[in-house]
Structure 1
Amino acid sequence: MILSLHFPPKLRFSDEELVAFCLANPDLNVERDEKGEIHLMSPAHGLTSANNSEILAEVTIWNRKTKSGKVFDSSGGFFLPDTSMRAPDVAWVSIERWAALSKQEKHSFPCLAPDFIIELESDTDSLPKLKSKMKKWIANGVRLAWLISMSQQKTYIYWADGKVDKVAFSKKISGAEVLSGFEVVLSDIFEI
């Protein structure tokens, strides 16, 4: 479930104020959309959280072997070019892009779009809203994005060129050239 807070235009958080708000409220899962609206997300149900941990673990294990980037969980936020601050369920940033950040940027919400993100549909999510969010991730510079639809048991794969593929959980999906060598069959790791 998402609760949206609407502020008058003069009361919108700057980036620094948003960081301070998040630090003052560490128990809240917060995002800011491109219109400046603040969205508070409720904790995930048990099964959603467990499935999210499984896919996060798969990406983390691949990354430990390749040492090619940094992996982020759902509490890691990113300031995007459209002024939003989003926190995907899983994110990955190449080691070159991560190394280019200052220490101060690493200790805040980095001002960059991850190379790869995953959003996992929960019981309370709206699939059309998630699809719209995925297009925004791509428009902001994400190179590869997966929307994992638990209700349909399909993964929507969003490519930087705007193409979208649909793949059943029983089929192998890969990180293509973004996460080179990463492959997973979601039906092998998820409880449905």
Structure 2
Amino acid sequence: MTISTAPTPPVNTQPLLLDVSNTTLTVTPAQFDRLCTDNPDLRLELTPNRELIVMAPTGGESGKKNFKLSGQLFVWNESTELGEAFDSSTGYDFTAFGGGKRSPDVSWIEKSRLEGIDIVGFIPVAPDFVIELRSATDSLTATQSKMKEYQRQGVHLGLLIDPQHRKVEIYRSGQEPEILESPTQIDCGDVMPGFVLRMSKIW
């Protein structure tokens, strides 16, 4: 006698993806560090309110412009050797000062401020200079909030570059933001002697 058995349903081995784009996720700094370790290919940030931000890779246009900005800083820093420059994959830890954990698109720290500082992980001091390049999908309000956080943490000079509107917002310590319309260059010499950021390739 033949005994028939019900067919075994196929096992779904595909990962189940959870869309959290419209949800606020809150994590502790320790949990954030673990997420960064477990997901090295993701760009993550932590706000002062402990909200987790997952940043998508930039498009080609933003990547090209960011490379041009980083390149100018690299050339100047190599010639002056006044500090260290960092790219967008570098994280800063502001949690000891009431901030979050951030990754500016471009940043620079004066050499003496790095003496005795461990920079293997998140850098525990505020950079002297940062650039945030706004992409087409970035919220202007959220990016401005990030710039104000940098300012509170002691960043001396911050540039929010908005190619969509051809504007640059300049954030200096203890001052209200200055807005420039389609500038051809930005003199950063008050923080980095001799460094002038050329904007012709960005617009």
5+ residue gaps in structure 1? none
Match of 1:69 in 2: 83
CA spacing shift, 1:24–1:66, aligned 2, 3 Å: same
Counterpart pick for 1:147 among 160, 164, 172: 160
Q: Distance in 2 between the 1:14 and 1:127 partners? A: 25
Partner of 1:86: 102
CA deviation map 1:91-131 (0-9, x unaligned): 10111111231xxx211101111100000010101112211
TM-score under structure 1 length normalisation? 0.88
> What are the Cα deviations for residues 106-157 of structure 1, in whole angstroms up to 9, with x where unaligned?
1110111110000001010111221121111101111100000111111111
5+ residue gaps, structure 2, are: 1-19
Task: Check the 8 A contact 1:34/1:83 in 2, yes or no.
Answer: yes
Partner of 2:113: 97
Root-mean-square deviation (Å)? 1.7
Structure possessing the higher relative contact order (Cα contacts under 8 Å, 6 or more residues apart): 1
Identity %: 31
Indicate if the aligned counterparts of 2:168 and 2:183 stay in contact, CA closer than 8 A.
no
Structure label with greater radius of gyration: 2
Deviations 1:10-35 (A, max 9, x none): xx3234x4333212211100000001
Contact 1:169 1:185 in 2 (8 A): no
Is residue 2:57 matched to residue 1:43? yes
Per residue, is there more helix in 1 or in 2? Answer: 1
- Structure 1 residues 83, 133: closer, same or farther in 2, change over 3 A? closer
Larger strand share, 1 or 2: 1
Residues of 2 paired with 1:26 and 1:139: CA distance?
28
SS in 1 for 2:58: coil
| Range with bigger deviation, 92-101 or 32-41 | 92-101
1:171 CA displacement: 2.7
- Aligned residue identity for 2:161: I
Out of 25, 32, 42, the position equivalent to 1:6 is 25
Stretches of 4+ moved more than 4 A in 1? 2-5
Q: What's the TM-score once normalised by structure 2's chain length? A: 0.83
**Count of residues in correspondence between the two structures:** 181
The question of whether the paired residues in 2 share the 8 Å contact of 1:138 and 1:162 is answered with no
- Tell me if structure 2 keeps the 8 A contact 1:19–1:109: no
Residue 169 (str. 1) matches residue 182 (str. 2): yes
